[in-house]
Amino acid sequence: VKEAGRNNFHFYTGEMNAHALRWMSLEVHLRHAVERNELRLYFQPQVSLADGRVTGVEALLRWQSAELGMIPPGDFIPLAEDSGLILDIGTWVIEEACRQMKAWHAKGLPPMTVAVNVSARQFATGTVPAVVRKALRDNGVAPRWLEVELTESVMMHDSDHTQMQLNELAAMGVSISLDDFGTGYSSLGYLSRFRLDKLKIDQTFVKNITTDPRSAAIARATTALAHGLNLIVVAEGVETEGQLAFLRDMGCDKIQGYLFSRPLPVDELSVLLLEQRML
Ligand code: C2E
Ligand code: CA
Ligand code: CA
Ligand code: CA
pLDDT digits (tens, 9 = 90+) for 202-244: 999 999 999 999 999 999 999 999 999 999 999 999 999 999 9
Q: Distance of CA 240 to CAs 98, 141, 162, 231, 246, Å?
A: 32, 35, 36, 25, 10
| Cβ of 70 less than 6 Å from ligand 1 | no
Q: Ligand 1 pocket test: which of 34, 60, 94 has the largest number of ligand atoms within 8 Å of its C-beta?
A: 60
- In the chain, the DSSP E strands lie at 39-48, 54-65, 69-71, 113-117, 146-150, 175-181, 198-201, 232-236, 254-256
pLDDT averaged over the chain?
90
Q: Is the pLDDT of residue 73 over 50?
A: yes
Residue 1 has pLDDT above 50, yes or no: no
Half-sphere exposure (CA, 13 Å, Cβ side) for 124? 11
Q: Could you give the CA distance from residue 60 to residue 42 in angstroms, rounded to a whole number?
A: 5
CA distance linking residue 202 with residue 258, whole number of Å: 14
pLDDT at 12: 52
d(CA 80, CA 31): 9
> What are the pLDDT digits (tens) for 184-206?
776 788 888 888 999 999 999 99
pTM to 2 decimal places: 0.92
Mutate to test the pocket of ligand 1, among 44, 70, 116, 117 (most ligand atoms within 8 A of CB): 117
Q: Which atom of ligand 1 is closest in space to residue 263's alpha carbon?
A: 11
- On the question of pLDDT at 3 being above 90, the answer is no
Q: Residue 11: is its pLDDT beyond 60?
A: no
Between 186 and 72, where is the model more confident?
72
Backbone φ, ψ for residue 97 (5° rounding) = -60, -40
